[in-house]
């Protein structure tokens, strides 16, 4: 099916066997890819990390939309059956623009599934969301949570330094904890603190243990990876679009693409995937020519 870069889509016979397109501003979206692979092990994946332009989280909304359209364009040109926006900032800012550009392509973002996970985890309805500046600014999580749970009391906090820590592979220790205290203490030492911390950024699951130490064991920490995978699995099942191939017959399970730094991509990816990938398995692409 969708092997076109515009609204005009082309029918192909092997639609079910096309890969699932996944993009993020960098390697953080690999936390989502891992969950997708766990829930949908027979699928093939095309993962694009826009490493040359990371972070998206500090950019203006217009720029995030333009970058997201270009990233999606690369994946759609290669042939994908659906698109997962594994970047919270892009999901929060560009989901509508992407759906407008590709009306026939099933597109899932991580914000709605993340909000769902947060609401399900919280007993009190007091939910803290940590994310990038761009995600917090747009209010996407606040709206999504309030729509599911109107009684929720939401504290959304921009924590951009967590992205740098995760990219550096500094996932635990005194420096990570000191920065987390600085961001989180005011909210979590309030008289009625949140009982749930929602990780609204792809990079944050790798510093989860340090965050748990800082907010205390009574706070439930959730992210959107699992709920996004479940949502995609139900969508593909209901459409009859699941791959019918199993195991080796489906070919290479994941193809990685990055817009800069194959070695760095492979090195940092190891923290997120908890396995190593060879740098030469990462294809370097030029995204500047893609349609924005």
Residue placing its CB nearer to ligand DGL in the complex, 28 or 113: 28
Under the criterion CB under 6 A, does residue 223 sit at the interface with ligand DGL?
no
In 3D, which of 278, 269, 207 has the Cα closest to residue 22? 269
Q: How far is the CB of 19 from ligand DGL (least distance, A)?
A: 20
Whose structure tokens read 């635990």?
Answer: 172
Asked whether 44 and 19 are in contact (CB, 8 A), the reply is yes
Which SS3 state, helix, strand or coil, does residue 210 take?
Answer: helix
User: Binding to ligand DGL by residue 108, rule CB under 6 A?
Assistant: no
In the complex, minimum distance from the CB of residue 33 to ligand DGL, in angstroms, rounded to a whole number = 12
Contact flags string 73-102 toward ligand DGL, x per CB under 6 A: --------------xxx-------------
Spatial strand order in the sheet of 126-131: 153-158, 126-131, 196-199, 220-223
Strands 220-223 and 20-24: unpaired
- Residue 64 beta carbon to ligand DGL: minimum distance, rounded to whole angstroms: 9
Pick from 36, 65, 136, 163 the residue near ligand DGL by CB under 6 A.
Answer: 163
> Can residue 202 be called a binding residue for ligand DGL (CB under 6 A)?
yes
Q: How far is the CB of 4 from ligand DGL (least distance, A)?
A: 27
**3-class DSSP state of 291:** coil
> Measured from the CB of residue 54, what is the shortest distance to ligand DGL in angstroms?
5
Q: How far apart are CA 95 and CA 98, in angstroms?
A: 5
Are the CB atoms for 77 and 5 separated by under 8 Å? yes
**Of all residues in this chain, which one has the CB nearest to ligand DGL in the complex?**
57
Q: Which one of 21, 22, 23, 28 is in contact with ligand DGL (CB under 6 A)?
A: 28
Q: How many chain residues bind ligand DGL (CB under 6 A)?
A: 17
Residues 124-143 within binding reach of ligand DGL (CB under 6 A) = 132, 135
CA separation (Å) from 215 to 152, 178, 186, 226? 19, 12, 11, 22
Residue 37 touching ligand DGL (CB under 6 A): no
- Catalytic residues, by residue number, are 87, 201
Does residue 99 come out as left (phi exceeding 0), alpha (psi in the -120 to 50 range) or beta? alpha
The reply on whether position 228 binds ligand DGL by CB under 6 A is no
> What is the nearest approach in angstroms of ligand DGL to the Cβ of residue 95?
13
Among 54, 129, 215, 222, contact with ligand DGL (rule: CB under 6 A): 54
Which is closer to ligand DGL, CB of 2 or CB of 179? Answer: 179
Phi/psi at 256 (nearest 5 deg)? -100, 135
Residues 69, 147 contacting (CB under 8 angstroms): no
Closest CB to ligand DGL among residues 2, 111: 111
Nearby residues of 277 by Cβ (< 8 Å), 6 or more positions away: 256, 266, 269, 270
Q: Which residues in this chain contact ligand DGL in the complex, by CB under 6 A? A: 24-26, 28, 54-57, 87-89, 132, 135, 163, 201-203
């Amino acid at each position: 099916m969708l092997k076109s870069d515009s609204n005009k889509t082309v029918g192909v016979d092997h639609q079910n066997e096309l890969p699932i397109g996944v993009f993020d501003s960098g390697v953080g979206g690999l936390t989502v890819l891992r969950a997708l692979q766990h829930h949908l092990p027979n699928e093939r994946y095309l993962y694009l990390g826009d490493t040359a332009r990371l972070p998206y989280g500090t950019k203006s909304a217009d720029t995030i939309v333009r970058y997201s359209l270009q990233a999606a364009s690369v994946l759609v040109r290669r042939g994908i059956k659906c698109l997962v926006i594994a970047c919270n900032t892009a999901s929060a800012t560009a989901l509508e623009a992407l759906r407008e550009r590709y009306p026939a392509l099933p597109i899932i973002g991580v914000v709605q599934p993340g909000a769902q996970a947060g609401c399900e985890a919280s007993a009190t309805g007091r939910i803290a969301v940590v994310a990038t500046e761009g995600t917090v600014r747009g209010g996407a999580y606040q709206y999504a949570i309030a729509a599911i749970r109107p009684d929720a009391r939401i504290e959304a906090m921009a924590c951009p330094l967590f992205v740098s820590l995760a990219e550096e592979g500094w996932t635990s220790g005194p420096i990570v904890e000191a920065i987390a205290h600085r961001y989180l203490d005011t909210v979590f030492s309030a008289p009625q603190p949140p009982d749930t911390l929602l990780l609204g950024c792809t990079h944050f699951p790798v510093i989860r243990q340090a965050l748990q130490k800082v907010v205390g064991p009574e706070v439930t920490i959730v992210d959107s990876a699992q709920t996004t995978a479940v949502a995609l699995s139900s969508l593909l099942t209901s459409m009859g679009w699941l791959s019918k191939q199993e195991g080796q017959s489906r070919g290479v399970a994941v193809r990685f693409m990055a817009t800069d730094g194959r070695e760095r991509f492979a090195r940092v990816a190891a923290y997120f995937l908890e396995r190593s990938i060879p740098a030469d398995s990462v294809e370097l692409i030029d995204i500047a020519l893609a349609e924005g």
